[in-house]
Chain A
Amino acid sequence: MSRAAKVSRVGPMARVRLDQISKTFGEGPDAVTAVDDVTLDIAHHDFMILLGPSGCGKSTLLRMVAGLEDPTAGDVYIGDRRVNDVLPKERDVAMVFQSYALYPHKTVAANIEFPLKVRGVGKAERAEAARRAADVLGLGDYLRRKPGQLSGGQRQRVALARAIVRDPAVFLMDEPLSNLDAKLRGDTRAELVDLHRRLDSTFIYVTHDQVEAMTMGTHVAVLNAGRLEQVGTPQEVYDRPASVFVAQFIGTPPMNLLPPGMLGSSSVRVGVRPEHLHLSTTGPLHGTVRQVEHLGHEVLLSADLDGGLRVTARLGVDETLPGVGDAVAFAAAERHLHRYDAVSGLRLEDRSV
């Protein structure tokens, strides 16, 4: 199974389309809606991140693409094919689980070969494919080991190798990095991006970690309580959050959201990111400094505004900084203000106030 042949076969097929998908668990008064009318178009060779807090329905959405859950309503398309009634094995998808789901009794080689084995691929071809996949992920020396003899990072790679060995049209990943330590997580992020570049497959990646979303995705879909809040490139989602939820979910520290009426009309909430808030004696926002955190390359300054709201500003280390308890005033440039409807929480498109 050469890669070139695969590309031409699968190429345009790897587009994934979710059309008004809903998923409800249970019946009657106990019913829980995990996914609520989500429509999402994922282009071929996209690296789509499904981002949201736990319980937002992102994993359920992924599982519906995999075929592990049936949508209550709506259609799932992979390529041109509606796959609602298609078994997972015929969807040409591979999934990496948060737990890695390795078979503890099988060697690394046998784990990687397993998807080929169930497809009836011959022994020699299987071993060759497994060795190649293992080499891609630097596992060549560990083929004879059992998962129990590997580190967390190595196990994670075995799970990835088992996915790439099948050369699937779509990779589905459910928080694959969440069990790794911070350093390894950083390295693996870069490797996944590299892997995506090398393979001609579509990636759908579930995470609650906005850093993963920002650094890896070509597109990010932000979900909240089963509903799709926004889809866009990471930069778009960061620069122009479509709702109050997205504004506060993405960015560390999160965007400062002022109460309705503070700056502008009473039907508008204004938000400003910490890096866009600067000290200015003539600024409109007055408060008292509560905390000054020196991070080496920047300073996070938190202050309680006169209305009681806590805001955070990201300042340079060279600035003359006030001390805790001092009165300060902040200002922000007009182009850096985000405006949201006070009732619906939706973004108001940029018009001057």
Chain B
Amino acid sequence: MLGPSAALLGVWTVYPLVRAIQNGHLRCNVTGSRCRDAGWGQYLDVFTSDDFQRALGVSVKLALLTVPTGLVLGIGLAVLADKHLRGIGIFRTIFSSTVATSVAVASLVWFVLLQPEIGVLSDLFSQWIPQLKNPGLLRDPDTALPAVALSSIWASLGFTFIIITAGMQSVPRDLYESAFVDGAGGFRRFTNVTLPMIMPSILFVTVVLTTRALQTYGEVALLTGGGPNPQKPTTTIPYLIYGDNSIIRNDIGLKSASAVLLFVISLVFAVVQFRGFEKRVHYGS
């Protein structure tokens, strides 16, 4: 009975992973036409290289910019939409809509909004944020990464909203009513009932958002191309691996090694988050 799923996992997950780990030993020439085995030491070489370290820093920074903000905004919207008001369904649909939006579309939307010459945001807010016009958020090395994060947060908001809303709907009404009779106001009910009861959802969203942030490629490729150069403040690890402008784009060995390292790093993040939440997560009663 396990046959079909084992086969699928084997072909699509296990084999590529094993191949990637194998390929991570290779070191290739400039055109990528000839490769030789460089041994396990290559992983350490890659990890300690300036390019990888810089990309790791960018990826982590991106995670720090997107995950907490996305989580807070998502929970905030879910709380707003949880009210039993007439017409609230429309807002639920709007808030969840970004789930159905691909990274490419989201990036295009933000690219246009932030475009310095014709972008709406540039026109509206350049008074307060002059970088919007000159040189443009995506072209200024200081603001490029936050601008990518903005697009990324927006694109993930629907996902966060849906998961948190579902979590909130599974909280027994009795708990709120009991707290209400006992004298707890709205804020206390939120901190004493809602938040602890949706911790499993929050953990899930945190792990998924972090993994997504560490794997950010599409936004970077479409919005900045890893630039602006020469600082490359938006070259994330995935962009270092796949990007058109990446310096290792022809070296299958270095790319594989970076990908395996990214996998390990994501794993470490997830484990740390699970551990950190352990004490606070209660599944059911």
Contact = CB atoms under 8 A, between A and B. Distances in A.
Contacts of A105: 196-197, 199, 280, 282
Interface in B163-190: 172, 174-175, 177-185, 188
A99 interface: yes
A315 B174 CA distance: 45
Contacts of B180: 68, 88-89
What interface size band does chain B fall in? 20 to 34
A114 B197 contact: no
A264 B174 CA distance: 51
Given A97-B174, A99-B172, A104 B282 contact: yes
Contacts of A98: 174
B87 interface: no
Interface string A59-76: 000000011100000000
Interface residues of A, number: 26
Contacts of A101: 172, 174-175, 177-178
B230 interface: no
A271 B218 CA distance: 81
- Judged by DSSP, the binding face of B is helix
B181 A118 contact: no
A102 B185 CA distance: 17
A166 B285 contact: no
A142 to B, nearest CB: 15
A98 B175 CA distance: 11
A94 interface: yes
A113 to B, nearest CB: 11
B197 A166 contact: no
Contacts of A115: 182-183
B93 interface: no
Task: Give the most central of B175, B178, B180, B188: most A CB within 10 Å.
Answer: B178
The 7 closest A-B CB pairs, nearest first, are A89-B183, A104-B285, A101-B178, A101-B174, A115-B182, A105-B196, A88-B181
Interface of B: 172, 174-175, 177-185, 188, 192-193, 196-197, 199, 280, 282, 284-285
Interface of A: 66-68, 88-89, 93-95, 97-99, 101-106, 114-115, 118-119, 146-148, 162, 166
